[in-house]
Amino acid sequence: MVETPSRDFPRPTTHEAVTSTTLPKAGDIIAGRYRIDEQLGRGGMGAVYRATQLGLLRAVAVKVLLPERNGARVRERFEREARVAAAMRHDGVVDVYDFGVDDDDRLFLVMELLIGESLGDRLERERILPEAAAVDVTAQVAAAMVSAHDVGLVHRDIKPDNIFCVDGDADQLPRCKVVDFGLAFIKDGGDLGRLTSDTIISGTPDYMAPEQCRGGVEVGPPADIYALGSVLLEMLTGRPPFAGEQGEILAQQLHVPPPKLTTRRPDASPALSALIDRMLDKRPASRPDARGVIAALGATAQAVVEAEHKARDRSARVLAPHVGVPSANAPTAELNSSDIVVERPVVVVRGGAQAGVAIALAVNGFDVVERAELVSDERGVGVEVMLLASPAEVARRVAAGATVIVGADPEDLDRVAALVHAGAAEVVGTPVALEDLASRVVRAQRRAHRQSQREKNKP
């Protein structure tokens, strides 16, 4: 006989009644029916244990709220996780069996016991996944999101640590489960509705959609798609779209175009790169829905398999290039000590350049100095980005020793020619594609370095 998990959970006691200050230990009995066997892990909100359901002798996972986190709002979030996850009926979502308060006033949640590891742990170990594996994980999570979004549920915290890879047969890819619905939001969901305040920003900055970063905005399913696109980019390149302190990441999520997959990983599938571009679009309405992601991955998956078969036939080809080593065929924004002229490259951004330029360069490892004036008499010591400069202003900075990058409308051939004649090292199209700007700076530095070496070697 197979037990059907009950979906009707008892309401916990009032928040003020919770007085427990200890976590359970091996051998303790929770609610008279779950024996604690061992602790499996501990997070910011609860500790998770392997336990045995007495009577059925079934192995389960029991999550217990940490004593120091037993405030009213955290308890509401903990209860919410149980009820939202229990409302889901999908193989890609961890199954919840029970929820309540034990005789020691400890709030607990009983779930299916998952054997395996989180995607976060896997990426910590492997750093970059083969495209086929990344596509498979993304497709499984997208399938779970279809089920969630169909009932109005937005997870709001899709990230590697909340995707669990369940162990299976050695010749099969792992099954994936989405966990931790503590931040989830159900539109018009009654007591399953909003938990957080309208003014609170909730989520993990590395994976948060621009609309989620703003706070005070009701986020919808497109926010989960953005987060999943960020996870997919991380699986393929070793890191999410943006880096920095929390505030810097939030600013970049709002204002800086996301990096191109093919910039970080030149051998990546063009179809997969195009899909990530759509998933990471700043405009929610321009992102595909979860079904659209699955449909795109279906075509991409076949292209990935064919590409990997071809790659294995070329002995000199490396499927996963080392991050930070630019491809000879596709210059990237990644920097390597052999490719730059100074240990910490300095870039001067002059004249109120396009918004986001300074941030885009800073996150790629440059020391950025901003100057309001386009032209000065100070000696140029490196690359200067002066997108709005006239040919005369460019010539003046070049004469001062600067390596200049300037902007122009690609169809304004007279201006382009004049800027090149004035000595500009790089003329970029405006508005500038920020994700490509760092590679332009590297190229300008190399050109200036070669010119310097030629000058030194002249008889």
Rounded (5°) CA angle 153-154-155: 115
Exposure on the CB side of residue 306, measured as CA atoms within 13 A: 7
How far the first Cα of the chain sits from its last, in Å, is 92
Strands 403-408 and 383-385: parallel
Closest among 390, 392, 396 to 408, alpha carbons compared = 390
Type of residue at 16:
E
Task: State the DSSP H helix or E strand holding residue 263, giving kind and residue range, or none if neither.
Answer: helix 261-264
Active-site residue, from 98, 102, 136, 157: 157
Q: 108 vs 179, 376, 420, CA distance in Å?
A: 16, 66, 69
Joined tokens for residue 333: 């924004």
* Cβ–Cβ under 8 Å, residues 183 and 200: no
* Closest C-alpha to 273, from 303, 245, 248: 303
277 is catalytic: no
Residue 145: exposure state from Cβ atoms within 10 A (0-12, 13-18, ≥19): buried
Helix (H), strand (E) at residue 442:
helix 434-457
Residues assigned a catalytic role:
157
